Amino acid sequence: MHRIAFGVLAACLLAACASQPQATIHLDPSEHPAPSPEEMQVRNGLEMIEAGQIMAAVDGPLTDVVNKFEAQYAHSKATIYSARGTGDALLYAAGNLGGSHGEVEVIGPAWAMAYWARGYAYGEMARYDDERRELEKALALAPFDAQYNNELAFVYMQKRDWPQALAHYENGEAFADITAPDSPNVKCVALRGQGYVLVEQHKLDEAEAKYRACLKVTPDEPKSLAEIGYIQDLRKKQH
C-alpha cells in the first residue's frame, strides 16, 4: 500500500489531477489555513473531554459536527473524503479507492476529526467497541490518515487481534509523512506498534528491525531502546 500511495501522489502532482474532472477539493491551499468553525467545535469538544466533561462533549459539539456533515452529504452521490491538507487531498482526488469510479469530493478535516474525537471520548470511558466504531467511521472518510490508523491499531491490539493491529500500524507508518502534523512521532508510534505485535507473534528479528527503524527516525528513542533490550533478554531465555 505504501508504494501505491506515493505513486498515486506523484502521478497526481505531475498531472495536476487533470485526469480527474470528477474530483472536487474544498480545501484552503495555503500553508497555514485558519481552522474552520467545525474544527473549532471539535477542539472545544476535546478540551471538554480533558476537563472531564466527556459525555457533554460527545452529546454537544462533537455530535453537532457529525450531524451537520451527515445531513449535508446524506443524499450526495459523490464519495466523500475528509483531508487534513493538500497531500492527502490529492491522494483522495486522484485515487480510485475501493473501486469507486464516480464523483469524488474532498472536504476539510473536521468531519473525520469529530468521529475520531468521539472515539477518543468512548475510549476514556472504556467503551472500546464504541471507540472502534467511531475510529472506523473516521477512517472511512480519511483512510490515509496515519494517526487514525495508529489509534485503531491500538484498539485491535488491546483485543489481541494481531493481524488487524499490524495492518493498521503499517498504514500509520506508510502515511505518516503525508498526513501527520508530527510525522516523526507518529511514524515511531506505528513502528513501535508493529514491533509489539511481532513480539507477540514470536517474530523477534522482525520486531527488532521495527524498533531499530524507529531509532533511525528518532535517535535514542527510549521506548524502542527498552524494547530492543527486552527482545535480547527473550533470546537469552530461549537458549
Using the 8-state DSSP alphabet, how is residue 35 labeled?
Answer: P
Query: Which cell numbers in the block locate residue 90?
Result: 490529492
Rounded Cα–Cα distance for residues 71 and 112 (Å): 15
30-46 tens-digit pLDDT: 777 889 999 999 999 99
Torsional sign, CA 57, 63, 121, 109 = negative
Residue 150 in this model has a pLDDT that exceeds 90 = yes
For the chain, the first-to-last Cα distance in angstroms comes to: 37
* Helix or strand (DSSP H, E) at 63: helix 63-72
175-185 tens-digit pLDDT: 999 888 889 99
- Provide the residue ranges of all domains of the chain, joining segments of one domain with +: 1-141, 145-239
Rounded Cα–Cα distance for residues 148 and 119 (Å): 10
For every residue of 134-188, DSSP letters joined together read HHHHHHHH-TT-HHHHHHHHHHHHHTT-HHHHHHHHHHHHHHHHHH-TTHHHHHH
Residue 186 in this model has a pLDDT that exceeds 60 = yes
Instruction: Write down the CATH number for the domain with range 145-239.
Output: 1.25.40.10
Selection from 16-25, 97-106, 168-177 with the highest mean pLDDT: 168-177
- On whether the CB atoms of residues 60 and 76 are closer than 8 A, the answer is no
Residue appearing with cell numbers 528479528: 205
68-88 tens-digit pLDDT: 999 999 999 999 999 998 889
Query: Which cell numbers in the block locate residue 224?
Result: 524502542
pTM of structure: 0.87
